[in-house]
């Protein structure tokens, strides 16, 4: 404490303004009041991410920083929700999760917030260290072919290179396949991790990699002794043995589900109603076991109902509650809500929009705002953003930059896929069973083209007819599962361009008959 005498009013004003941004240094247990600003009426996600001009270089810098982060072993899972009173509001699924539940009434911005979560997750980590699976619990097309209130749902996020699968709850056959694939992935991870957790497994993998490197640099031997079960001692290269013993990469996986309540209580007449139970059982398994296996769940649902009694709702440690939208001109845009963390802290925020159309020149225009000297210590006022109807969406701009950045780090991706490229025999089962994104198809096309050029054997199986003429020929032997796929051919599922390449490189063998599971191996209570 100090007293200053005989100073002018102007000097005192300048001194007060200089002290305005400063705060007293208290103990770690004391909570100092921090300066905050009112929430904006609307927020742009790219501004909150610090990617007003999303470029591959800026994204690669983020990914490199994530790779060097010792506290995010196995990949970051940072989801930025929007603008808060003290800056961007984010949720760390790895540290504070593992699961996130978003609740809000109709038209409160649930789907747009899920899109923002998916976009921010992709911006935080590379595609080979983070995978995203999308599922729309409610059909995006209403009765009569007219678009429903949910619009395109999560389909607009399929251009992101991190997204591997997108499913709409309209086809019970594909929904059951999705549930089986998700359960198989959990089983694979459990067998790979053993008794270790996801973080412990990656820690051990990193330490073992360092030990192997040190041992390799400290010896001049090119081989070591390997004792097989027989009495013969064989000598094989040490590098080859290390390559066969190396564990496969295990990225984080985030399953994003919109309209979970539509899966918990499907409407009568809903096309996905017969398989909704199978999907819910798989999602409940993720909620129970995902924390140890590195699988996270992000779901959006309407408040109340039977959803509160499900495992995804009970296991969610991060919760978002969205406010009902207002109708007045001064009311905020949809997406206003609050985030509740595991320790009970609540942070209000305005959800960042990622599907808005903002012109490129908007980030270059200067903004002048009035500022009172009493508020000189406050954080800078956010630039008001006026959305225009021209230009691509922010999500499209981000997806393009992410795809170019992913190509730059393709050396890692090619190293992961090297066994697939070089295997003497590769078997692709159930081709066309799921409709992955264009990025996944580009990778599959690259694998097939490489193997075709190197004349390596590839065996492909599919349940879809090779041509339209074969659909009617197989109608006599079709089962209910095949009947659901009767109107689609393999070309409809994988594209005519890839089908043409397969017809060039493959000899087609058609098998007609009754479904073995329906006729012989059908379960019974006997």
CATH architecture classification, 417-519? 3-Layer(aba) Sandwich (3.40)
Give the right CATH number for 43-195+249-366+379-402 from 3.20.20.70, 3.40.640.10, 3.40.50.300, 1.10.1040.50: 3.40.50.300
What confidence tier does 343 reach under pLDDT thresholds 50, 70, 90?
Answer: very high
- Between 247 and 332, the more confident residue is 332
User: Mean per-residue pLDDT for 75-95?
Assistant: 92
The CA distance from 471 to 75, in Å, is 45
98 prior amide bond cis, ω within 30: yes
The CA distance from 448 to 494, in Å, is 13
- Percent of the chain scored above 70 by pLDDT? 71
Which residue reads 């691509």 in tokens? 392
CA distances from residue 439 to 61, 123, 403, 412, 442 in whole angstroms, order as listed: 22, 16, 8, 16, 5
User: Mean per-residue pLDDT for 173-201?
Assistant: 91
**Is-contact 406 126, C-beta < 8 A?**
yes
Structure-block tokens of residue 319: 């919760």
In the chain, where does the domain assigned CATH 3.40.50.300 lie? 43-195+249-366+379-402, 417-519
* Angle ∠(187,202,126) on CA atoms, nearest 5: 90
* Angle ∠(66,72,78) on CA atoms, nearest 5: 70
Q: Give the HSE-up count for residue 111: Cα atoms under 13 Å, Cβ half-sphere.
A: 20
pTM of the model: 0.67
**Is-contact 107 149, C-beta < 8 A?**
yes
Which residue reads 């699988």 in tokens? 295
- Note the pLDDT tens digit of each residue in 190-220: 998 988 899 888 887 765 554 444 444 444 4
| DSSP classification of residue 363 | G
- Note the pLDDT tens digit of each residue in 147-159: 444 458 899 999 9
Q: Give yes or no for residue 113 having a pLDDT over 90.
A: yes
* Rg (alpha carbons) of the chain, rounded to whole number: 27
8-17, 139-148, 501-510: range with lowest mean pLDDT: 139-148
The CA distance from 513 to 299, in Å, is 41
β 223-226/336-340 pair status: unpaired
What is the phi-psi region of residue 211: left when phi exceeds 0, alpha when psi lies from -120 to 50, beta otherwise? alpha
233-247, 255-269, 445-459, 460-474: range with lowest mean pLDDT: 233-247
| DSSP classification of residue 375 | G
Segments of 177-239 assigned E as strands = 223-226, 234-237
Predicted pLDDT at 32: 47
**Is-contact 82 351, C-beta < 8 A?**
yes
- Note the pLDDT tens digit of each residue in 449-499: 778 777 888 898 888 877 644 444 455 555 555 555 556 778 777 777 778
What confidence tier does 226 reach under pLDDT thresholds 50, 70, 90?
Answer: very low
Predicted pLDDT at 387: 55
Structure-block tokens of residue 282: 């798989």
Which residue reads 């929009």 in tokens? 353
Average pLDDT of the residues of the chain: 78
The CA distance from 265 to 197, in Å, is 33
């Amino acid at each position: 404490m100090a007293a200053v005498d005989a100073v002018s009013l102007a000097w005192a004003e300048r001194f007060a303004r200089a002290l305005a941004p400063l705060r007293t240094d208290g103990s770690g247990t004391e909570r100092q009041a921090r300066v905050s600003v009112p929430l904006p009426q609307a927020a742009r996600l790219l501004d909150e991410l610090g990617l007003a001009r999303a470029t591959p270089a800026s994204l690669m810098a983020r990914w490199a920083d994530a790779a060097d982060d010792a506290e995010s072993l196995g990949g970051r899972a940072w989801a930025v929700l929007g603008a808060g009173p003290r800056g961007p509001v984010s949720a760390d699924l790895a540290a504070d999760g593992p699961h996130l539940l978003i609740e809000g009434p109709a038209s409160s911005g649930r789907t747009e917030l899920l899109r923002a979560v998916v976009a921010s997750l992709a911006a935080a980590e590379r595609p080979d260290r983070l995978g995203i699976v999308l599922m729309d619990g409610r059909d995006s097309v209403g009765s009569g072919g007219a678009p429903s209130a949910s619009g395109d749902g999560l389909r607009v996020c399929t251009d992101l290179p991190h997204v591997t699968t997108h499913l709409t709850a309209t086809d019970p056959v594909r929904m059951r396949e999705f549930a089986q694939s998700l359960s198989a992935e959990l089983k694979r991870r459990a067998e790979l991790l053993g008794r270790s957790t996801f973080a412990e497994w990656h820690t051990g993998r990193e330490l073992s990699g360092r030990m192997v490197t040190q041992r390799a640099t400290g010896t001049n031997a090119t081989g070591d002794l390997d004792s097989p079960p027989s009495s013969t001692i064989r000598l094989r290269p040490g590098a080859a043995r290390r390559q066969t013993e190396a564990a496969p990469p295990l990225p984080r996986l985030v399953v994003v589900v919109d309209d979970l309540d539509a899966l918990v209580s499907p409407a009568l007449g809903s096309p996905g109603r017969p398989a909704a139970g199978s999907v819910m059982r798989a999602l409940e398994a993720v909620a129970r076991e995902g924390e140890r296996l590195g699988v996270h769940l992000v779901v959006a649902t309407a408040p109340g109902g039977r959803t509160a009694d499900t495992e995804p709702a009970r296991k969610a440690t991060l919760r978002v509650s969205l406010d009902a939208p207002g109708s007045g001109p001064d009311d905020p845009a949809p997406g206003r809500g609050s985030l509740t963390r595991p320790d009970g802290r609540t942070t209000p925020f305005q959800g960042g929009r990622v599907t808005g159309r903002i012109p490129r020149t908007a980030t270059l225009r200067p903004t002048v705002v009035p500022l009172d000297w009493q508020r000189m210590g406050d954080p800078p006022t956010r630039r008001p953003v006026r959305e225009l109807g021209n230009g691509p969406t922010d999500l499209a701009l981000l997806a393009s930059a992410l795809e170019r950045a992913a190509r730059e780090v393709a050396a890692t991706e090619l190293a992961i896929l090297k066994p697939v490229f070089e295997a003497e025999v590769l078997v692709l089962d159930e081709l066309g069973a799921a409709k992955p994104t264009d990025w996944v198809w580009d990778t599959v096309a690259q694998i097939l083209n490489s193997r075709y050029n190197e004349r390596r054997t590839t065996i492909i199986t599919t349940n879809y007819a090779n041509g339209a003429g074969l659909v009617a020929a197989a109608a006599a032997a079709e089962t209910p599962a095949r009947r659901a796929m009767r109107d689609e051919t393999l070309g409809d599922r994988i594209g005519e361009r890839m089908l043409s390449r397969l017809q060039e490189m493959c000899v087609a063998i058609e098998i007609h008959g009754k479904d073995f599971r329906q006729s012989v191996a059908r379960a019974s209570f006997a």
